[in-house]
Amino acid sequence: MIRFDILTLFPGMFRSPFEESLLRRARERGLIEVRILDVRDFTADRHKVADDYPFGGGKGMVLKPEPLARAIAAARAEDPAVRVILLSPQGAHFDQAAAERLAGCGHLLLVCGHYEGVDERIRMHYVDEELSIGDYVLTGGELPAMVVVDAVSRLVPGVLGCEASREDSFTGGVLAPPQYTRPRMFEGQAVPAVLLSGNHEAITRYRRREALRVTWERRPDLLGRACLSVEDQALLEEIRLAGNGQGPGRGPAADRGAESWT
């Protein structure tokens, strides 16, 4: 079981995401626990002020250090092993490897930045690590927090069942192969015959080859750090020789950066 505490100025944003689909069932079965903490509950003034203007001038507001410090201190007093993560534009890129690492933690406190961010003293002295989910502008850290919870929860044993997460895209460093369902024929396009053959060995090899092909065409950057077997290398050579008019990187790989919010 893994526990997620989410510290946010906008707790209402989390009412729906964790009440649907896999995450709802995982919570009901006690596989994950999600607690939403309102930053304002940790303020000390009667107006519950959680943000203020930045020293030196500038646009926007900055989250005040005192309520964040109180919330983090309370979490650490309850569980000294809690890992405090700030969702931040300047954080490290959150990827599948990071999700797998965090899935080994028992308790995560996700701090949602907002407006112009948080007071630098919190970042320097209260946070264990910072994470960013991409190079684009967001309103705040709430959506990144949802992404982290979803990606990590899928890796908790029992959440998906049948170890299905092992076949997800990015697991093992490659994208997932194309998938098909009924009907067998759709607008003149048939499901690949091998998938209907019942030959499980052939199906496994076909899917692996397709996963490698899709990765080679769309995200060749992943192959450089993927764990590839000798057979994978042979399949990749087949794919390169076949060509089919496509080169590596048909779809541009996203530049790695950080999101920002305003």
- Residues serving a catalytic function are 89, 116, 154, 168
Beta bridge partners of 38: 8
Among the listed residues 101, 99, 183, 100, the one whose alpha carbon sits nearest the alpha carbon of residue 133? 99
- Say how far apart CA 119 and CA 105 lie, in whole Å: 26
Q: What is the DSSP string of 212-239?
A: HHHHHHH-GGGGGGS---HHHHHHHHHH
3-state DSSP helix/strand/coil % of the chain, to nearest 5 = 40, 20, 40
- Say how far apart CA 147 and CA 251 lie, in whole Å: 23
- Say how far apart CA 227 and CA 219 lie, in whole Å: 15
- Say how far apart CA 262 and CA 260 lie, in whole Å: 7
